[in-house]
Structures are given as structure tokens and as C-alpha cells.
Amino acid sequence: MQNNTKDEISSLNNQELSAQNLEELKEIQSQMYQFLEERFCHNLETFKKYYPDIAKRFDKYTPVKSFEFFCSQNGIPNLIFTKENEFFYKTEDPIAYCQEEMDNFLATAKVQQTKYQLEFDPYGQIHFKYSNQAVEIENSLPRNKELLIKDVKSFPNCLMIGCGLGYHLARLYEQVEIENLVLVEPDPDLFYASMFAFDWCNLLEYLHESDHRIHFIIGVTLDQLFLDIEASYKKSGLFLSGSWFTYIHYINDETRKTWDEIKKHFDQIHEAIGYFDDHLFATSQGIELINNKHKFVLNKPLKKEYKDLPVFVIGAGPSLDHDIPFIRKYQDKSIVIACGTAIDSLYHAGIKPDFYVNLERTFNIGDSTLGVIPDQKFLQDIIIVSSDTCHRNTLKYFKNSAIFAKNDEPFFPYLTAYYPELEKIQEIKLSNPVVGNAGLASAIYFGFENIYLFGVDNGKKIGTNNMHSSFTTLYANRGVVDNAGPYQIEKVLPGNFGGQCESSHFFAMSGHNIGFLLQMEKLNNDKLTCHNCSDGIFMENTIPTHSEDLVKEFSSKPDIDKQKFSEYVIGVKTVELHFSEHAFSKLFDSVKFNEICQKSINMLDNLPDNRVDYIKKMVKLSEYIYDLMNHRETFYYGSVLNGSIQNLFILVSRALYHCADESKCIEGANRIMNLVKDFLNEAQVLFSYLPDYVMWEHRKYFENGVVGKDTSYGKAPPFPGKIEIITKQFDDPLKTFVKKYE
């Protein structure tokens, strides 16, 4: 913010008084105030026309701060906050100042875009076929890494922090056509002031006539900020967030905090959005769970006597070894949740979990993680906690299940729209990207309030070697790789107890999601606490706690009646769902889905010869799919398509801005867009197999040994062979589980 005192402002004006009489100055001020009132009225009417919620909010708005408008002899309105004795723009000509500021910014602002890599396809999915071929096309284009936004004269997306009096907006649009502007103004007083000073009427009319988008996020709390930003991109197309530049108009504590919050979350907008085949797998497997009478978690409150019980959420990170003695000693005084491969660790450490958590839809997790445990009786009375995406190969090892409805999958919300009785099933949020997230989310959505994390390291301390607990035979003895894929070290992050940790992209996202989930749920329940006893990365909204500091507290706690608790979960907190055998067939209409795909293909016909209209094509299709997702009858169809299409559109956008030569960019984009059309054609074939599209069993539909059809770019890849996670034989000496307390 441009700061100065009221005396200095008076000095500026007094310089003019020597050259003109007082009456002329009064006349200028009077004309300015009349101008401000007229502009506000015109702007308000325009907002009523295009953004009625904004108009309603500011029609009778009362500012929190006291401010006044003033001007020098040029009559251009500036702003002073009278209580603070500060004015906004430290200049006699705010418009010229904002124009110069924007010019200086655009002189160096480079094109920024998300870059995708080729991905390994372990299960045979058409999404990866099309995505990888699109990546190959994009990689073949010679990219100018020094390309400036002003050189291409248009851009898909701008994230702007700070509206101020709005003068910089006109200069931006004079030089660059912005298809999608997300305007975040932390201070609603300033936006209100802009409605007097800036010609919003002219800008909004131009945006409407040019069919450009602008999203206003004004004065929201930091807790709500990311959700509002994410919602704006969902409407116009998540692909837009894959091309961006960020412009911060003024700097103060509020804009700094706003930018810091956005940076933490922005990449997530188009990450983990769910791809086409994954949704088909999840749908088919979810229907199997219902038909096979597995039990689902009810959203009724957890019984009061269980809410405050200590819950140990245990991952297989390397710091688990340090806490094993503590967990052994107090395992009967807590509810123990084993996350994924931690069940292997706990078996060998002599600790009996109450729950085993796995939210993977993959078919080979069960045999690789659970089938290798020598004493299968160890698993029988453990309750598996999963989501409605879980594969039968994992569930078969357990007698009892507690299944959540995964909120970021379309299947259960779609089902609930037709069968309202399913609203009684508890949903689970932010259970990705690794199983530690699922463990914490399960504890929270069961209704527990007193949670402790062990071995949820999300990395390893610098100077150490192991990524997993030494009690985990899968990594130590069975050859399972833990230094590639999601375990590929690429980041250094602060440690939970100080120092630094080596981490990966997925682990960093996991830590972020843990903090964000706790932040959200603490708004609903201020009793929720989460102690992080793991010596891994620091995670926000957790309390770093050494297990040694808990001994006194836990030594006085009574043992939990685990049998009684298990009976409560099985008999009261979970329920079977009863539907007729053919209840779901009418919900997955291939004819309707084919019509949607064909309309989408038609919308991509007659591709334009310029970037601006090309981006508009993708926005129009994204808005069409978004609209589908807002209606009960079409919600599922739009949801299963959206993730893969947005992924491909990010690659199309990247091709559109790889160099300054627009014609070459259009040529590259067209090649990728042909793959989008191919995908929409092939998606219709796969959709027709629902609800019989269970992962790995689906290979029966690819009898020719390749993943579906050839594309306009190349041949279909070979269908992958069955992956063997375990590569070494190990004669486990612990044939029978022995519970240990020391």
C-alpha cells in the first residue's frame, strides 16, 4: 500500500493553491465528488446486471475503516484512510502510476504452465494412453522458456491479488486478453472504494461482449479462500489453473497472508482430480460392496464414551521404531489404527490393531500386504476401514468392514441423489494421497476427538537412510521398492521436532492435506486435537509431541473394553445396505452417456485459428460438463469425464503457448485435440461395460492384448502384465502372532 501522511497530501495540494485560487480548487473537488457518486450508481447498475450478488453486497455497504477521496488539480480520485492518516497511492496521478506498474510487470512476466511427465500405466487404463500420447506431442514442440505474456497478447488465466481502486485493470486488458481473471481482494473496503473510482461498467460490458470470465473473491477468511478459488476454476475449467500468472497490486499484511495461503494450495486445484477409468473401477467395485453386504459407516454421532478415547493412527514411517515401546505398553488403552503397510510393522512388533485402513481401489494391495502375514488369525477380528472404492481382493481378508462414502468420487453422491436413504452413510474427505491421510480422516469421520499420529513421517530425517520402519518386512525382506514413484525424494521440508526432512511431492501433499483437513474439521469441532508424535515433516494444525511426554498421562488411563467397542462398531455404528439386484442398472444409461460424448465432440469441431477462441472452446466444453455435474440426472456422466478432459486440456493449453508463432501453436494444439475426440469416442465403449468394470478383471474386454483402440496419434500400448509388488521370497520366522507389552 502506498503510505503517506495527511499533511504531506495537503502539501501536494497547497503547491497547486499558489497557481490557482481557492474557488477553482473547490470546484475541482466538487466535480470529483459528483463524478464519484455518478460512477458508483452506474457501476452498481452494471453489477446488478452481471453480478447481482456483488451489487447486493455493496449497495448499502458500510466501510469498516474511515476513508475519504481527494484529488489534485488533475481531478483523478485517490484515497486516504483518515484514522491511520495514510493514503493509498503516493502520487498525484494514480492512473499513470498504475499504468506504469502494470507495464513494468508485463515487461518481465513469463508464461507459466504446468508440465506433465509420461506416466507408467500399471493396470491398463485408456486415460494414461491418451495422456501419455498428448505429453509426447507436447514434448516434441520446441518451447521458448523465455516467452513473455505480452508477446503472445492473450493468456488463459490471471490470478490477481488486490483490486485497489481498480486503475491497473484497464491497463492489463489494453495489453493482454485474459480469458479468466480470478480477482482476490482481501479488503472489502477497497473494493467498495473502487466502485466509486474505477469504470467497472465499461470493463464488465467489455468482458461480457468478449465472452471473457472474471471471478470476484472479496473479503473471505483464509479458511474459506482456497475453497472459493477452487470453485471458480471448477466452473470455467480446472485446466485454466494449469496456465497462470500472478499479479499482486499492493503489498500489506493482508495480501501477504493471502498469497501465502494461495501458494500452499494452488497446485491442488488440478491435481488428483480423478480420471475416467478410475471412476469406472470405483463404481463397479462400490456396487460389489453393496451387493456383497459389506457394512457402511453411519453418520450418527459416535457414542459419548468413545469420543474422547485416545486413537493411535499408525503409519510405517521410520520414526515408528522409536515409539514402538510406548505403543506396545499402551495399546490396550487406545484405539489402534494401522495404515496400510503398518499392519505388517505392528504384526512383527507385537501390537494388535483394532482397525486396518486401506482406501486404494487397486487389486494387488491385499495379496501383497495382507496375504504375506503368516498368522492369518491375526487379521480375523480386525475391522477393515475403507471407502466405497475398495477392491474385493483386499476385503476378503477380514470378517468385518466399516466403509465410508468417498466424497471426491461421483458414485456415492450420484447414488444418494436417487436413494435419499443413503444420506445416512458417512462420507470421508481428504483421504489422499497416501494411506496416512486415510487413517487420520477415518479417525475424524468416525467421530474421535483425541488423535495421536505415529510413524506418519511423510519423509525421513536428513542423514538417515530408511523410508520405513525396520519392523516392516515388505521393504526390509520382500524387495518392495521404497525409493521410487511416490517415494522419490525431491523436497526438503521442516521437521516436526526441528531439523529438516527429505520428502517427496506426494508426501508433501499428504502433509498439507493433513493440516488442511484438521483446519476444516476444527471449525466444526473445537474439541478435536491431533498430537503428532512422528519424527517426520512438520504438519500444520498438529501438536508436536514426544511419546515420552505422554507416559504420565497414559499410565493412569484405564484399559478399553475392546470387545465391547468392536461389537458397538459392528452392530451400531455400521450397517448393511439392501438393494435389489438390478437397482443400479438404470442409473448408468449408455445411450445418455453417448449423447453427452457426441455433443462434446461436436463442440470441439471447427477449431479456431487463434489462441483466444481456442481457449474459449475449451472453456465452453468445461462449462457444459460443469453444468452436467449440477443436475441429478447427469451428475455422474459429467463427473467421470471431467478429470481426464481437464488433464488433456492442460496439455492443449501448453501447446498453445509454447512459442510466439501462433500458427505453429495452433498446429500442435490441434494434434492433441484430436486425441481428446478419440478419448470421447472410446470412453463410450468402456462406459457400456458398467457396472462390470472391476480393476484387473476388466482386462477381459481387451482380448487383442492392447489397451483399447489405436488413436489418431499412434498405436494402442500393450496391456500391462500383472505387477508383482513382492520380488523376494522370505520365510517369516514369526509364524504366530504374539502380543507384546514391552
The DSSP-derived string for 104-127 is HHHTTPBPEE--------SS--HH
630 pLDDT more than 90: yes
**698 DSSP assignment:** G
β pairing state of 450-454 and 529-532: parallel
Query: If 0-12 CB within 10 Å is exposed, 13-18 middle and 19+ buried, where does residue 489 land?
Result: middle
Confidence tier at 17 by pLDDT (50, 70, 90): very low
- 712-718: long-range pairs with CB below 8 Å, 24+: 712/671, 712/674, 712/675, 712/677, 712/678, 713/133, 713/134, 713/136, 713/137, 713/671, 713/674, 713/675, 714/133, 716/129, 717/121, 717/129, 717/132
Phi, psi angles (nearest 5°) of residue 452: -130, 130
- pLDDT of res. 158: 97
Q: Maximum Cα–Cα distance for the chain, whole Å? A: 101
Nearest by Cα to 32 from 80, 71, 88: 71
- Any residues with CB less than 8 A from the CB of 66 and at least 6 apart, and which? 81, 82, 83
Residue type, 231: A
Three-class DSSP category at 622 = helix
Phi, psi angles (nearest 5°) of residue 67: -145, 160
- pLDDT of res. 26: 74
**Is the four-CA dihedral 251, 256, 260, 262 of positive or negative sign?**
negative
369 pLDDT more than 80: yes
**Identity of the highest mean pLDDT range in 13-17, 324-328, 369-373:** 324-328
709 pLDDT more than 90: yes
CA distance 274 to 283: 13
Q: From the centroid of its chain, how far is CA 656?
A: 25
- pLDDT of res. 49: 97
- C-alpha cell, 507: 508426501
Confidence tier at 487 by pLDDT (50, 70, 90): low
pTM attached to this predicted model: 0.91
- pLDDT of res. 311: 98
Does 561 or 368 have the greater pLDDT score?
A: 561
- pLDDT of res. 25: 67
Interval 150-167 mean pLDDT: 96
CB 134 within 8 A of CB 648: yes
- Any residues with CB less than 8 A from the CB of 677 and at least 6 apart, and which? 601, 604, 712
Q: Which of 65-79, 104-118, 155-169 has the lowest average pLDDT?
A: 65-79
84 pLDDT more than 90: no
Per the document, the length of the chain is: 742
Nearest by Cα to 219 from 241, 192, 194: 192
- pLDDT of res. 725: 85
242 pLDDT more than 60: yes
Query: If 0-12 CB within 10 Å is exposed, 13-18 middle and 19+ buried, where does residue 596 land?
Result: buried
In the chain, what are the domain boundaries? 1-92, 294-489+559-576
Q: What is the mean pLDDT of the chain?
A: 93
Confidence tier at 442 by pLDDT (50, 70, 90): very high
Q: Please, which residues bridge with residue 177 across strands?
A: 154
Query: If 0-12 CB within 10 Å is exposed, 13-18 middle and 19+ buried, where does residue 442 land?
Result: buried
Confidence tier at 8 by pLDDT (50, 70, 90): very low
Interval 724-734 mean pLDDT: 90
542 pLDDT more than 90: yes
486 pLDDT more than 70: no
Phi, psi angles (nearest 5°) of residue 500: -135, 155
- pLDDT of res. 366: 82
22 pLDDT more than 70: no
